[in-house]
């Protein structure tokens, strides 16, 4: 066994007072420099101001539509099969449109179980489900309200980047620091 000889600690080391003061000096230096230069602080006035969403961000799901307004989804169950959280529930029905075999009579996603992995989007063969809504703040009061229905998914619009309240190039935008 090898014994490693350690340097003896002085009284100053044992008190830690110098290190505590050094730490406090750094904290106060940052606090006062931020207070005197508020515009450079990487904070946003949420929820009055929202940060821009990076391209490819996986937000709340939406179902895409055909030109006639009907869902593109053909109820093939590929997304529900690929979903690792088992949170997509689909009930298939025969489509009244002779050119389409099936449509989803029910299509629910339980957002409390969803892990936002994007596997459903990858698995879909007809680009019927996307996560490009730009909605990242999902809040409600009841657990049941987090189950989004087919109608809600169809009504969700894609993110309009022109409507972003905070420019992605804004120096206050924390995404610019990534």
Report the interface residues with ligand SF4, using CB under 6 A: 73-79, 82-85, 87-88, 90, 109, 114-120, 123-124, 126, 128-129
Distance (Å, whole) CA 70 – CA 79: 19
CB of 103 to ligand SF4, least distance (A): 9
CB of 72 to ligand SF4, least distance (A): 7
53/74 with CB nearer ligand SF4: 74
119/168 with CB nearer ligand SF4: 119
Residue for token pair 């996307």: 130
Helix, strand and coil content of the chain, in percent to the nearest 5, comes to 30, 15, 55
Distance (Å, whole) CA 136 – CA 103: 28
CB of 83 to ligand SF4, least distance (A): 3
Residue 18 host element (H or E): helix 17-36
78/166 with CB nearer ligand SF4: 78
């Amino acid at each position: 066994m090898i014994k490693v000889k350690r340097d003896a600690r002085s009284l100053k080391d044992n008190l830690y007072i110098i290190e505590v003061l050094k730490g406090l000096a750094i904290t106060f230096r940052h606090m006062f420099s931020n207070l005197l230069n508020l515009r450079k602080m990487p904070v946003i006035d949420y929820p009055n101001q929202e940060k821009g969403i990076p391209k490819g961000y996986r937000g709340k799901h939406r179902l895409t539509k055909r030109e006639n307004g009907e869902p593109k989804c053909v109820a093939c169950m590929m997304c529900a099969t690929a979903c690792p959280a088992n949170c997509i529930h689909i009930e298939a029905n025969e489509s009244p449109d002779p050119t389409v075999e099936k449509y989803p009579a029910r299509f629910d996603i339980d957002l409390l179980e969803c892990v936002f992995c994007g596997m459903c989007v990858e698995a879909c063969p007809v680009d019927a489900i996307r996560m490009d809504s730009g909605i990242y703040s999902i809040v409600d009061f009841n657990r049941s309200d987090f189950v989004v229905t087919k109608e809600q998914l169809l009504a969700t619009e894609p993110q309009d980047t022109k409507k972003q309240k905070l420019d992605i190039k804004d120096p206050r935008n924390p995404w610019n620091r990534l």
